[in-house]
A and B are shown apart, each in its own frame.
Chain A
Amino acid sequence: MQMTMSQKILAAHAGKESVSPGELVMADLDMVLANDITAPVAINEYRKAGASCVFDCRKIALVMDHFTPNKDIKAAEQTKKVREFAAEKKIENFFDVGSMGIEHALLPERGLVVAGDLVIGADSHTCTYGALGAFSTGVGSTDMAVGMAHGKAWFKVPRAMKFNLRGSLPQWVSGKDVILHIIGKIGVDGALYKSMEFSGPGVASLSMDDRLCICNMAIEAGAKNGIFPVDEQTRKYMSEHSQKTPVEFSADPGAEYDQVMDIDLSSLQSTVAFPHLPSNTRTFADMPVVPIDQVVIGSCTNGRLSDMQAAARILKGRKVNPRVRTIIFPATQKIYLEALRQGLLEIFIEAGAAVSTPTCGPCLGGHMGILAKGERAVATTNRNFVGRMGHPESEVYLSSPEVAAASAVTGVITDPATL
């Protein structure tokens, strides 16, 4: 049986020689993740089931990143519940304010996920870690609770789509544009239940941050996971960040793909997803004038150091438009500190932007940048559904950090190449 990379990782963790698409398997987990919104529901289920010990206190990560620093009393009660659970179960990877970052930037940075791992997280963007050659996917709180108790989860073995990348990205174009381009082509359910496997000579030209960003949004095409092959860059990243031993898998030459899409990276342009679906994409050749009220740069999609650097390149020596509230969120404490050391935060503040401690806050309309009725934001986040960042009649336009920073300066959605 010729298998894809994702199928091989599932087979290895299910203790099987091979698996076939559609087969339901029970597999052993290397990491189980939840945050301050999904963990409380999981803890309720865990307690209801009368489970006592967790399967492995080193293989559970609880990250307090969504409504933290606590946005209100109820949020404070929720994180308290998780904090007490983590202490009771001696969970090693509990990250609270001060050590926490946005989970999908934090776990790779802390070396908690490496190639060959099987990871579930009670957060849909858990698919991010495919960039490291791991199989990782979002699940709900009950799956997470069972994962904490048993170290296992059930999976339907996915079919796959292959994205053959060649060339390299032009100036001002980055990983976000790659994934928005793909979602624009295949739609928000274009990869439903499937793996999105990236391959080809163009992979080498993409940075780890680009790959993490691309896999992060696989879920926005309905995919079960996104995954990149392991190469020199991946190995270097893992050796710099992790003590764990990676296991490299690669797709068999005869692996089956429902669809193969060839993408010439050098032909891609800055891409913006208009409301209210990530698939509603446009490039600047076809862009009306869209005045904006807010810019958000950050999130598990684009809050990494290279995103901060990209925004700083544009904002250096410029001022943000006084009509545009510009909020920049480095995704982890380490990124924050490095941005400080490199002088990026100074550039942002001098440009008139606010810089915040890490939080998912505005991306999901939680806190720290909520939109009023009729307002528009350009955001480097991952979803632009109705009401996502605030009032149901507000609008979110998804873009790269380059486009977001350029738009902050002009006050309308702007191609960074024209600034």
Chain B
Amino acid sequence: MKITGTVIRYGDNVDTDVIIPARYLNTSNPKELAAHCMEDLDPTFVKRVKAGDIMVGGNNFGCGSSREHAPIVIKESGIACVVAKSFARIFYRNAINIGLAIVEFSGDIDEGDKLEIDFDNGVIRNLSKNTRGEFPPFPEFLQKIISKGGLFPAMEALT
């Protein structure tokens, strides 16, 4: 699989409270929740995000609460993939379990850059900067979850 998208970039320690503030968690409806995605960090996000955009973060992306609402609202907003230097562990497993693409990568990426991500070969091309980088593939165990479309359908293959 290969995707191309425009970067919306944030810094280190993007926490789940800014991804989706708890005051909106009185619903589990993805559409209602997505109207508030990134609200406390970037109130312009919901207006400017386009389907296929790529969200880029620094270290420890998704730290804080275990709320699965966080990867759900990012996915629901149309973000095709989150690229970060590192992910907080609960966000990492939640993203895999719900089928939000994530990539650990620490190359130089700026707001508005165009990226091409080749998941099969583990290659990121920054088309704006004309640079190329690699990222390690997921272990086979996690690939099974991803290829089955989530944890529930993958359980038979995993046990």
Contacts and interface: CB of A to CB of B under 8 A. Distances in A.
Given A146-B152, A365-B22, A122 B68 contact: yes
A37 to B, nearest CB: 5
Given A152-B159, A154-B158, A388 B17 contact: yes
Interface in A21-39: 24, 26, 37-38
Contact of B23 (A121, A366, A385): A366
A44 B21 CA distance: 21
Interface stretch (B45-53, B59-67, B113-121, B127-135): B59-67
B93 to A, nearest CB: 7
A207 B14 CA distance: 34
Contact of B13 (A41, A123, A154, A189): A189
A403 interface: no
Contact of A75 (B26, B40, B150): B26
Given A24-B141, A138-B66, A385-B17, A78 B27 contact: yes
A193 interface: yes
Interface string B123-159: 0000000000000000101100000001111010011
Contact of B66 (A72, A139, A370): A139
B60 A192 contact: yes
B88 A222 contact: yes
Contact of B152 (A40, A78, A145, A277): A145
Given A143-B94, A145-B152, 12 more contacts: A49-B152, A75-B26, A139-B66, A140-B66, A146-B152, A189-B86, A192-B86, A222-B60, A222-B88, A364-B22, A364-B65, A385-B18
Contacts of A139: 66, 90, 93-94
Interface residues of A, number: 53
Contacts of B4: none
B75 interface: no
Contacts of A365: 17, 21-23
A219 B88 CA distance: 9
Contact of A142 (B26, B28, B40, B94): B94
10 contacts: A41-B72, A66-B22, A74-B26, A75-B26, A138-B90, A222-B63, A383-B17, A383-B64, A386-B41, A392-B40
A49 B28 contact: no
Interface of B: 13, 15, 17-18, 21-23, 25-28, 40-41, 59-60, 63-69, 71-72, 86, 88-90, 93-94, 97-98, 139, 141-142, 150-153, 155, 158-159
A71 interface: yes
Interface of A: 24, 26, 37-38, 40-41, 44-45, 48-49, 51, 66-67, 71-72, 74-75, 78, 121-124, 126, 138-143, 145-146, 149-150, 152, 154, 188-189, 192-193, 219, 222, 224, 277, 364-366, 370, 383, 385-388, 392
B22 to A, nearest CB: 4
Nearest to A37: B25
Contacts, number: 138
Contact of A385 (B64, B86, B158, B159): B64
Contacts of A189: 13, 59-60, 63, 86, 88
A124 B66 contact: yes
A71 B25 CA distance: 11
B93 A143 contact: yes
Nearest to B25: A37
A41 B28 contact: yes
A10 B17 CA distance: 30
Nearest to A150: B155
